[in-house]
Copies of this chain bind each other. A is one copy, B any other.
Amino acid sequence: MIRIGIVGSGRVAYHLTKGFLNSSLHKDIRLEGVYARDKVTLSTFLPSAFIINDLEDLKNADVLLIAVSDEAINEVSFLIPFTDKIIAHTSGSTPMEVLSKHDRRGVFYPLQTFSKEKNVVWNEIPIAIEATSVTDEAILQKIASALSGNVLRLNSEQRVALHASAVFVANFVNHMFVLGHEICKKNNISFELLKPLIKETAQKVITLSPKEAQTGPAVRFDHQTIERHKTLLHSFPEGLYLYDVITKSIQNVHKNNISFSQK
């Protein structure tokens, strides 16, 4: 039996808690409790016996997952009064070494964008793990597999790369939606119209490589269309600036095959 304690009450802690509570896959894994500042959100689905007020109450846990904001991980790790447990954080960009107070430290990074309003399908979410020993790695592997069919080992440097890549394909993508939405709003066009296109664009890269999937005026070097768009955007400087920079970047990448420089 592996007993899991969770520390945190943000979006990741919320979905981890839900995930472990609903996981019936592994009978030998148990959620011991959640230490949370914000008890209100958790109490909507978590029986009160699981909500812990004192870190000491997690003394029977084998693994503590710290799901707090990146800046707080180090501080929280110093509040944990145990030396016999695996202490793992859940951050994509934070090195494992931030937990250096603990000998049995690790990382348990689920690669997904979490909102409280929306359930997630844990089984599809890749979980990247890292630990200081093969034994601890096997334990993290086991609890990750209770949630997901897609568990992998990554070192801290690879994990930062994965996280940076995720920023491009998720956070920056969403910013493109924000700007597109703004253009629609200004011109009395419903953003609803763009939803089939948004869906199709995401689906295309499931089967084609992103480079093959590139379409649009930039990659066609269609100056006339680009100029028409820029004229339209002249009263929206933020949109115009991004339009220009990204159009040039598309042209750069497709013309010069720009890539990471050789070390």
Interface residues of A (CB under 8 A from B): 69-71, 93-94, 111-115, 117-118, 120-121, 124-126, 150, 152, 154, 157-158, 160-184, 186-189, 191, 193-202, 204-211, 213-220, 222, 224-225, 228-229, 232-233, 235-239, 241-243, 245-246, 249-250, 252-253, 258-261, 263
Complex Cα distance, B115 from A127, in Å, reads: 33
Contacts of A176 in B (CB 8 A): 168-169, 172-173, 176
Minimum Cβ distance to chain B for residue A138 (Å) = 21
Most chain B beta-carbon contacts within 10 A, residue among A193, A217, A237, A261 = A193
Which 4 interchain pairs have the tightest Cβ spacing? A171-B216, A161-B187, A177-B210, A202-B202
Copies of the protein in its oligomer: 2
The answer to whether A249 touches B259, judged by C-beta atoms less than 8 angstroms apart, is: no
Contacts of A125 in B (CB 8 A): 196
Contacts of A218 in B (CB 8 A): 167, 171, 175
Complex Cα distance, B194 from A165, in Å, reads: 8
The answer to whether B249 touches A238, judged by C-beta atoms less than 8 angstroms apart, is: yes
Contacts of A172 in B (CB 8 A): 176, 242, 246, 250
Contacts of A209 in B (CB 8 A): 181
Minimum Cβ distance to chain B for residue A164 (Å) = 4
Contacts of A194 in B (CB 8 A): 111, 162, 165-166, 169
Complex Cα distance, B151 from A193, in Å, reads: 10
Complex Cα distance, B206 from A202, in Å, reads: 13
